[in-house]
Amino acid sequence: MNAGNVLGLSFILFSISAAAFITQKNLLITLMSLELGLNAANIAIVSFALTSNKSDPFIWIFLFFAVAAAEATIGLSILIMISKKFKTINPDKISNLKG
């Protein structure tokens, strides 16, 4: 598998992620589409690392995976708190976010 194929896969995954983020009305699906977009960016960095023959981009990939894991943890905890308070995860039905 060459770098062009890997970059094409990254583009397809990011396109699916963007479409799901725009069209879905469920906060969990929106959070999962954000994660898919971050992973698509990581795959794009892998394709650029394959062409450069250096190990520096792999350090950035590790950092991005750590940030994605932290973002998923924080996002899921916020989602759990919203679902407990409003009894729904549909963003259209959540109208009052005052403390």
What pTM did the predictor assign?
0.77
pLDDT of the residue at 40:
92
Averaged over 72-93, what is the pLDDT?
85
Give ∠ CA 25-27-29 in degrees, rounded to 5. 80
Is the pLDDT at 16 greater than 80? The verdict is: yes
Q: Which domains does the chain have, with CATH numbers?
A: 3-86 (1.10.287.3510)
CA quadruple 28, 29, 32, 34: dihedral positive or negative?
A: negative
pLDDT of the residue at 97:
63
In b/e form, how buried is each residue of 45-64, taking b as 16+ CB within 10 angstroms? bbbebeeeeeeebeeeeeee
User: In this predicted structure, which of 14-23, 31-40, 87-96 has the lowest mean pLDDT?
Assistant: 87-96
pLDDT of the residue at 79:
87
Q: pLDDT tens across 25-74, in order?
A: 888 888 899 889 988 998 888 888 778 777 777 788 888 888 888 988 99
